[in-house]
Amino acid sequence: GDSVTQMEGPVTLSEEAFLTINCTYTATGYPSLFWYVQYPGEGLQLLLKATKADDKGSNKGFEATYRKETTSFHLEKGSVQVSDSAVYFCALSETSGSRLTFGEGTQLTVNP
Amino acid sequence: SQTIHQWPATLVQPVGSPLSLECTVEGTSNPNLYWYRQAAGRGLQLLFYSVGIGQISSEVPQNLSASRPQDRQFILSSKKLLLSDSGFYLCAWAGGLSNQPQHFGDGTRLSIL
């Protein structure tokens, strides 16, 4: 079945550092890919998405490119802020319906 | 715009007591609805999903159940809670088309004593 593998955390960075959180997937069809963010004590918020190969999703300075050849969807940000501290989840959708398969999440802590 | 509401935000229950968590969606029709559980420091586990009124699919056999009495209402229940039911419960909705993102509520923190 479909699966998502995320870079293990926790990740600790200093403010203004470059961020990469790796995400790779396995899927039988042509899924859409998503990144969600969860701030402490809250639900998940959709951060960005990409629906087909070579699409780039972007939001709030974060970017991720759908790479079919490497089955990857790595999350990047050029300069992180303390307010970016959260858990980040990579997810894919099945090609039929809207069920999501989530990775295990990566805890990011940004220090001032 | 669409909104999703979950309540209560936090709940403390004794072992063996019943449970009812409610989730409602506004601003959309015929949504797909989902219940997840998130244990501390872990990922999300899909518990139930529903594509329509009265249609419930269970992902994990356990002492929890779900019901969808109305189009935009999704209820998570238990007749007798276990210690292992503690966790953060999240409700989500999505459009009925393929490859749609899910949108999450703020969650319910459930502690079993």
pLDDT digits (tens, 9 = 90+) for B37-48: 998 777 888 999
Is A106 within 8 Å of A19 (Cβ atoms)? Answer: no
Identify which of B42, B90, B99 has the shortest CB distance to residue A93.
B99
The one-character DSSP state at B100 is P
How is residue B102 written in tokens? 């899910």
Indicate the DSSP class of residue A9: S
Main-chain phi, psi angles of A18, to 5 degrees: -85, 140
Question: Shortest CA distance to A108 belongs to which of A73, A68, A74, A81?
Answer: A81
Among chain B residues, CA nearest to A103? B43
How far A38 CA lies from chain B's nearest CA (Å)?
10
DSSP B42: S
Q: What is the pLDDT of residues A45-86, one digit of tens each?
A: 999 999 999 999 999 999 999 999 999 999 999 999 999 999
Contact B89, B7 (CB under 8 A): no
Q: Can you say how many angstroms the Cα of residue A67 is from the centroid of all Cα atoms in its chain? A: 13
pLDDT category, A95, cuts 50, 70, 90?
low
